Structure 1
């Protein structure tokens, strides 16, 4: 802790126009709160595409005069009522903005957490941020206000404050999305510029293929809503690769940089992201190769079944040639328009595992699968075996991959399909 650093002005005395500090002076300031000294730490937020920091989140650090640290959670629990919570929230924002203004940060954003719960409940003067922007000289377009939307019940009041920050020129970010009671209704309603995915999602995705698919879907939906996406809490290369595979825009976490009082990007970060992007490309190729390898052992049987069906036109009997492979789940035949023109044929080992809870979906009669990739890809490349990506089958609500190929029988074009059970590796 730099004891020589000067304190910040009192909150109530922040005037609309205060001269910027001397750039040659000590770049880090501290302020007092009760018997604690509060300081700022800044954690970089990196753009995957640019391979560099495009923003920094301001985080408070507290310690006693004897050097003992106090946790941020304990600090934030000290206020006794909503008004004191708002005062501490403003103290932290003032501290971070003054410290950020004194450092070389280029055009990067400053992300500031705002306790929206107390901002709404206390209904304070909304001119505070405007005055603070004038006092520090930070342009409003470089300030990203982070709110946790699930904290607030008064949606109308929250939207009013968000409108105020937008009118100032600030950006709005939703923090910790995917945790607690987060829901997409508020994303549609609040229309944030940026959404930060809660760290729990990337942690769970690193050990669960199901959660990984959920993460991919969440990122896709947020993009459709017009939001940029930051994945927080990235602590390993594997998690970074998962976030990149999910098509996130930015990453934040200890794997890249820990919060520091001075803004200094880690060395070699551009090379790190170049390596990660190459790793993602290799990972994609490897995953596709794994799928091809998984199906390769059965492709010979699949070709035998196609030849037998062409010769005998007995779909059930031809499908039985595939049942010696325990991965086979079902076979079915589609016409050129995607209609299922045969009953689904199941091997005995698959019949024994059918879940009758999904009985309304098990019968494929009159179903149309023209919207499925395994149908239109087979039509696009006739006579070539197509291997689909893993997907959730509506027939029994489990993951599978599908082999499909066109075949001509009796002057008609058909698509022969075989579903294989897919277990997340």
Structure 2
């Protein structure tokens, strides 16, 4: 507990600032690839560390904010320089107070001069920016363009929380997206969070930037994110911020253990999915064979019986080869959401499904298609839709049976 907070002016004059580093770890490489520099104040009288929140709370006026920001950067670069001389592969992540970037400061080149003075390669430095704190967007864009030309990398911090605006991503074109702890917390058990993460991963892959998950606190979070395309992690689960640059005891063993768990989990999940979808295929084939012999007016009754006898089937409906629904949607009443009925409503006879993900591959010539898991508009539950073509003998035409299969509990599965 801090009993006495050293006045900021005194901290800046000495300066009494120390840098703690927190590792950024690639699980696939099984290596620390970067260090984020995190600043703390130091009370020379009591010997106590001044936490960042208390330190930066003292810098309310613009001149003090700028002075503190530069002092923190200076200390971070000087602390990192010794490691950089030994290992040219490690990256340094430095936070920049975006509120300090304005018309007066953007042409100072202070950071570039500092990095050169410390003999650090600019391509080893990641500038972390929280764009929501910037009051001068033009100055920020010019700052980013200048430092990118000098081979610095740009990271957008706190993505997925607070006032972070997605429209800034195409403007800043970041090299790294740092997903905030608010989005990461509980991602292994919350489908909606996982889908947001997967969207960021997919976008990052297309834009050619790296996704880093910060604030990870459990192995289950790491494994879920790793299974869904995130490879670089930072958080208390691996190491707390600490002074010095020595290896964290036990971290290598933890990384090795997680990598092995990932290998085992993925192998097990692939085998489970293979068994699951084999059972799905058998169920769908059995139902298609029965429906092929059923008169058109008896389709609804036959599908009702299938719902009663086949576990895991939530909804059934039949389409023609143009994507038009030619049956009612029959659903297991015990699996329908009792709330939000204005959002989740089974499609009716005559509904056009011609643009649905599970219909277009059939139209392109596939006999069967299985969708990725999604929230069904019919039931409101997490499901997978399997569409299969069958020849309906009574009408003499080909039809498509669509079955929504329950995937509840399969949050981190792909």
What TM-score do you get using the length of structure 1 for normalisation? 0.80
Residue of structure 1 equivalent to 2:80: 100
Larger deviation, residues 38-47 vs 173-182: 38-47
Secondary structure in structure 2 of the residue aligned to 1:183: coil
- TM superposition shift of 1:212: 1.8
The answer on whether the counterparts of 1:305 and 1:322 sit within 8 Å (CA) in structure 2 is yes
Residue of structure 1 equivalent to 2:388: 405
Rounded to whole Å, the distance in 2 between the matches of 1:114 and 1:180 is: 18
Secondary structure in structure 2 of the residue aligned to 1:357: coil
Larger deviation, residues 63-72 vs 386-395: 386-395
Residue of structure 2 equivalent to 1:342: 327
* Structure 1 residue corresponding to 2:27, chosen from 48, 51, 63: 48
Secondary structure in structure 2 of the residue aligned to 1:76: helix
Rounded to whole Å, the distance in 2 between the matches of 1:167 and 1:296 is: 53
Rounded to whole Å, the distance in 1 between the matches of 2:74 and 2:282 is: 69
Change in Cα spacing, 1:303 to 1:125, as seen in structure 2 (3 Å) is: closer
Is 1:76 the counterpart of 2:48 in the alignment? no
The answer on whether the counterparts of 1:58 and 1:110 sit within 8 Å (CA) in structure 2 is yes
Change in Cα spacing, 1:347 to 1:423, as seen in structure 2 (3 Å) is: closer
Residue of structure 1 equivalent to 2:373: 390
The answer on whether the counterparts of 1:42 and 1:259 sit within 8 Å (CA) in structure 2 is yes
Cα distance per residue 1:130-157 (max 9 Å; x no partner): 2212211111111111110111232212
The answer on whether the counterparts of 1:83 and 1:122 sit within 8 Å (CA) in structure 2 is no
The answer on whether the counterparts of 2:336 and 2:379 sit within 8 Å (CA) in structure 1 is no
Rounded to whole Å, the distance in 1 between the matches of 2:94 and 2:159 is: 16
Residue of structure 1 equivalent to 2:303: 319
- TM superposition shift of 1:82: 0.7
Change in Cα spacing, 1:361 to 1:304, as seen in structure 2 (3 Å) is: closer
- TM superposition shift of 1:331: 1.3
Is 1:419 the counterpart of 2:404 in the alignment? yes
Residue of structure 2 equivalent to 1:160: 142
* Structure 1 residue corresponding to 2:12, chosen from 17, 33, 58: 33
Could you tell me which runs of 5 or more consecutive residues in structure 1 were left unpaired when the two chains were aligned. 1-30
- TM superposition shift of 1:348: 5.2
Rounded to whole Å, the distance in 2 between the matches of 1:119 and 1:398 is: 47
Cα distance per residue 1:139-180 (max 9 Å; x no partner): 111111111011123221210111121232211111111111
- TM superposition shift of 1:38: 1.5
- TM superposition shift of 1:128: 1.1
**Number of aligned residues:** 393
* Structure 2 residue corresponding to 1:368, chosen from 326, 334, 353: 353
Cα distance per residue 1:314-351 (max 9 Å; x no partner): 32122121232575432111344544343323455567
Residue of structure 2 equivalent to 1:15: none
Written as runs of structure 1 = structure 2, the 5 A alignment for 1:7-406 is 32-33=11-12, 37-65=16-44, 66-103=46-83, 104-120=86-102, 123=105, 125-266=107-248, 272-287=254-269, 305-313=287-295, 314-324=298-308, 328-336=313-321, 338-347=323-332, 349=334, 353=338, 356-358=341-343, 362-363=347-348, 365-369=350-354, 371-373=356-358, 376=361, 382=367, 388-395=371-378, 397-406=380-389
Rounded to whole Å, the distance in 2 between the matches of 1:121 and 1:198 is: 29
Secondary structure in structure 1 of the residue aligned to 2:216: coil
Rounded to whole Å, the distance in 2 between the matches of 1:133 and 1:311 is: 77
Residue of structure 2 equivalent to 1:26: none
Residue of structure 2 equivalent to 1:18: none
Could you tell me which runs of 5 or more consecutive residues in structure 2 were left unpaired when the two chains were aligned. 1-9
Residue of structure 2 equivalent to 1:8: none
The answer on whether the counterparts of 1:355 and 1:396 sit within 8 Å (CA) in structure 2 is no
Rounded to whole Å, the distance in 2 between the matches of 1:319 and 1:375 is: 23
Secondary structure in structure 2 of the residue aligned to 1:95: helix
- TM superposition shift of 1:354: 8.2
The answer on whether the counterparts of 2:358 and 2:370 sit within 8 Å (CA) in structure 1 is no
Rounded to whole Å, the distance in 1 between the matches of 2:206 and 2:12 is: 43
The answer on whether the counterparts of 2:358 and 2:386 sit within 8 Å (CA) in structure 1 is no
Rounded to whole Å, the distance in 1 between the matches of 2:112 and 2:187 is: 40
- TM superposition shift of 1:106: 2.7
Cα distance per residue 1:204-254 (max 9 Å; x no partner): 314422212222222222332332111101122111112212312311112
Rounded to whole Å, the distance in 2 between the matches of 1:125 and 1:381 is: 59
Secondary structure in structure 2 of the residue aligned to 1:329: strand
The answer on whether the counterparts of 2:17 and 2:39 sit within 8 Å (CA) in structure 1 is yes
